[in-house]
C-alpha cells in the first residue's frame, strides 16, 4: 500500500513523499453516465496503477497538503492533497507551487505583457505582481488534486 510520509511542514503547507509498494485498483474502462445507466454496457476489468496515472517524473514529484481557500474557485480546497512535479516547466495560466520571500504559496501563474502575476482563484484575494524586489521561485507545477467527496 502506498503511504504519504510527511517530509516538511510550513505554516500553510505540509510536504509528503510517496512511499510503499504499488497498489493497483480495479478499473472499468467504460464511461459512466451521470444520468440513466445502460446495463447492456460491456465492462472491461483492468488495473489502474495510481502512481503511473498521477506521476510522470517520480524523482521530481511530491505531494503537498493545502491549507487556506485562495484557490477554491479552481477546485483546490483546504485539506486537499496536490501532486506537484518539479520537472515540468510552468506555462502561462498553469497552477504552480511557488516560493515568495521564503513562504510557499499556490497560485495560477499569469504572464501579461512584460509582467508576471500569481493569481488566486478566489475574489477575496488579490493578484501578486512579481517585481524585482520579490524573492520568487516556482517550485513545481501542480498536476493533480486529490480530495474527498
Residue with cell 511557488: 98
pLDDT band at 51 (very low <50, low <70, confident <90, very high): confident
Alpha-carbon gap, residue 57 to 138, rounded angstroms: 17
The confidence band for 91, taking pLDDT boundaries of 50, 70 and 90, is: very high
- What pLDDT sits at residue 1? 44
Is 70 catalytic? The answer is yes
Active-site option among 3, 59, 65, 70: 70
27-31, 110-114, 121-125: segment of lowest average pLDDT:
27-31
How much of the chain exceeds pLDDT 90, in percent?
Answer: 56
Distance CA 88, CA 108 (A): 15
Residue 111 φ/ψ, nearest 5 degrees: -100, 125
Q: Is the pLDDT of residue 77 over 50?
A: yes
111 is catalytic: no
Q: With bands split at pLDDT 50, 70 and 90, how would you rate the model's confidence at 59?
A: confident
CB atoms within 10 A of CB 23: 13
Top pLDDT among 87 and 3 is at 87
All cell numbers assigned to 19: 512511499
Mean pLDDT of 125-141: 96
Could you give the domains of the chain? 3-28+41-146 (2.10.109.10)
- Separation CA 59–CA 116 (nearest Å): 28
The answer to whether 139 touches 122, Cβ cutoff 8 Å, is: no
Query: CB neighbours of 28 closer than 8 A, spacing ≥ 6?
Result: 43, 44, 45, 46
Q: Which of 107, 111, 115, 148 is catalytic?
A: 107
Say how far apart CA 25 and CA 18 lie, in whole Å: 17
Amino acid at each position: 500500500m502506498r503511504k504519504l510520509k510527511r517530509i516538511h511542514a510550513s505554516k500553510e503547507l505540509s510536504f509528503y513523499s510517496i512511499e510503499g509498494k504499488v497498489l493497483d485498483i480495479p478499473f472499468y474502462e467504460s464511461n459512466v453516465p451521470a444520468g440513466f445507466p445502460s446495463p447492456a454496457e460491456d465492462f472491461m476489468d483492468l488495473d489502474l496503477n495510481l502512481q503511473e496515472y498521477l506521476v510522470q517524473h517520480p524523482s521530481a514529484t511530491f505531494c503537498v497538503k493545502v491549507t487556506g481557500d485562495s484557490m477554491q474557485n479552481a477546485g483546490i480546497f483546504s485539506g486537499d492533497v496536490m501532486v506537484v512535479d518539479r520537472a515540468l516547466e510552468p506555462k502561462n495560466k498553469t497552477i504552480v507551487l511557488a516560493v515568495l520571500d521564503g513562504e510557499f504559496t499556490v497560485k495560477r501563474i499569469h504572464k501579461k505583457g512584460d509582467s508576471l502575476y500569481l493569481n488566486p482563484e478566489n475574489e477575496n484575494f488579490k493578484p501578486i505582481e512579481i517585481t524585482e524586489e520579490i524573492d520568487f521561485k516556482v517550485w513545481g507545477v501542480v498536476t493533480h488534486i486529490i480530495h474527498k467527496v
